[in-house]
Structure 1
Amino acid sequence: MISIKKNISTILKILLIIGFGYFFWLMVKITLEYIPLRADVSFLMIKQTEVGQRPEYLYFFYTHVYTSIFVLLSGFLAILRKDFRLKNFHKNAGKVYIFMILLFAAPSGIYMGIFANGGILSKISFVILGCFWWFSTYKAYQLARQKKFKEHKQWMWRSFALTISAITLRMWKVIIVYLFHPNPMDVYQIIAWLGWVPNILLIEYLIAKKHI
């Protein structure tokens, strides 16, 4: 019975790695659309007002896009520590993850949230997401320095749940557009919240059940 459970656990972990690898590659492809620096491709095509009226917008946008891809990868690699016994690697990947979020990805995300599509509901959601992303990451960092590793782990999971909102947001968008064909601005209002709220609720449930 123990052997069966171990095998199932191993299979699930392998599927998790494969699944993350697939979605990470999709995020890399999105990022590559903005190399070399261009202001007239993909998402930026619908942000020309901000691009034209706010010269700093592109700096925040590129900062967010280019650092977020490293945040995704370093965050995922850090959580593999327990299973692959890479303690030092976990520590170093965690440092990259925390550094990138606190100094670059979260602050630039908060700025972009102020100008999000979809009206005030979308703006509120993305700003809250960015602030909680920064806070949960800082809290995890603070607890690690205090050597409160159980609490550190829980806050890192909260942080990573918000990190992968970059992936879940796009998944929800595909599902909603395919099933309901709503107005584009309505889509933004919906996925702005669906991208991260279910993630954090799931993590809180797992923490409450002591699975994390």
Structure 2
Amino acid sequence: MTTDTTTDTTPTPAPVRPPRPVRWWRRPWIAPLALVTAAFLATTLPRYVGLDPAQSLVPTDRGPAFYPALVTHIFTGSIMLSAAVLQLWPWLRAHHPRVHRWSGRVYVATAIPTAVAALYIAQFPSSGVAQQVANTMLGVLLLACTLLGYRAVRQRRFGDHREWMIRSTALAFSIVTNRFWAAILIAVYVPGALTDPDIAFGAPEIAGAAAASAWVSFVVNLLFAEWWIHRKPRKGARIPRAR
């Protein structure tokens, strides 16, 4: 009778360390984004809460359906931007995935009527055909990217879902960056607009700057989104898991 004294020499795999949470200071853009969004909504919403067309920032004498479409666009768009901030918050996504999923559903549910209302509003431009085409293109792209992102997550294609929703969010925030670009373009091309009373809001110079801003605001955002999607991750960077 013999005894088997062979010992198992298979190396024991090293324990897998759980990924360390990303510290808040490594995502320094989320707080400024939330503050800018809050400031934008605080300066825009009060004019429309009372449903008084006289308080509108844009003329409303463009048919009976224009003001309801404008109010729908603003109210649903405000919820959309707020949900987008939650979607972009890495800490919330990592620690409260259920809240992340629900804010994503809210984003999609509000982005669709926001885009549809924008398509109607765009047909009554204040600054000519160039602005009309820009805002129509923005509405089409926002609707398409949102629906493609929703379709991808339903099919559990989480990588595609992430890319389409990054594009959708970039387009959604073009309404915020439009304020920035409009001020820059007016300052560059119509420097006397703020001091010369003869230059009215509807003057051709202002209209041209507004039309240019309508294009620049969403094109630059979309280019940034594409860079963000296709950039190479830093060495040792942790790739977020699909949830």
Per the normalisation by structure 2, the TM-score is 0.76
SS at structure 2 position matched to 1:189? helix
Aligned twin of 2:155: 146
Aligned length: 200
Pairing 1:164-203 to 2, within 5 Å after superposition: 164-181=173-190, 183-203=205-225
Q: What is the CA–CA distance in structure 2 between the aligned matches of 1:18 and 1:58, rounded to whole Å?
A: 33
| Identity across the alignment (%) | 24
Q: What is the CA–CA distance in structure 2 between the aligned matches of 1:74 and 1:12, rounded to whole Å?
A: 21
Q: What is the CA–CA distance in structure 1 between the aligned matches of 2:232 and 2:153, rounded to whole Å?
A: 19
Match for 1:68 among 77, 101, 104? 77
Cα distance change of structure 1 residues 153 and 186 upon mapping to structure 2, 3 Å threshold:
same
- One-letter amino acid of the structure 2 residue matched with residue 195 of structure 1: S
CA RMSD of aligned residues (A): 2.2
Deviation at 1:175, TM superposition (A): 1.9
Deviation at 1:180, TM superposition (A): 3.3
Q: What is the CA–CA distance in structure 2 between the aligned matches of 1:122 and 1:89, rounded to whole Å?
A: 37
Match for 1:33 among 47, 52, 55? 47
Q: What is the CA–CA distance in structure 2 between the aligned matches of 1:38 and 1:88, rounded to whole Å?
A: 38
Q: Which segments of structure 1 move beyond 6 Å, counting only runs of 4 or more?
A: none
- One-letter amino acid of the structure 2 residue matched with residue 154 of structure 1: E
SS at structure 1 position matched to 2:52? coil
SS at structure 2 position matched to 1:49? coil
Pairing 1:4-43 to 2, within 5 Å after superposition: 10-13=24-27, 15-29=28-42, 30-43=44-57
The answer for unaligned runs of 5 or more in structure 1 is 1-5
Deviation at 1:129, TM superposition (A): 0.4
The answer for unaligned runs of 5 or more in structure 2 is 1-19, 192-204, 234-238
SS at structure 1 position matched to 2:126? coil
Cα distance change of structure 1 residues 108 and 85 upon mapping to structure 2, 3 Å threshold:
same
Cα distance change of structure 1 residues 146 and 24 upon mapping to structure 2, 3 Å threshold:
same
| Residue 121 (str. 1) matches residue 130 (str. 2) | yes
SS at structure 2 position matched to 1:106? helix
Q: What is the CA–CA distance in structure 2 between the aligned matches of 1:143 and 1:35, rounded to whole Å?
A: 35
Per the normalisation by structure 1, the TM-score is 0.86
More helix by share: 1
Q: What is the CA–CA distance in structure 2 between the aligned matches of 1:37 and 1:152, rounded to whole Å?
A: 36
Aligned twin of 2:200: none
Aligned twin of 2:96: 86
Aligned twin of 1:97: 107
- One-letter amino acid of the structure 2 residue matched with residue 26 of structure 1: A
Aligned twin of 2:146: 137
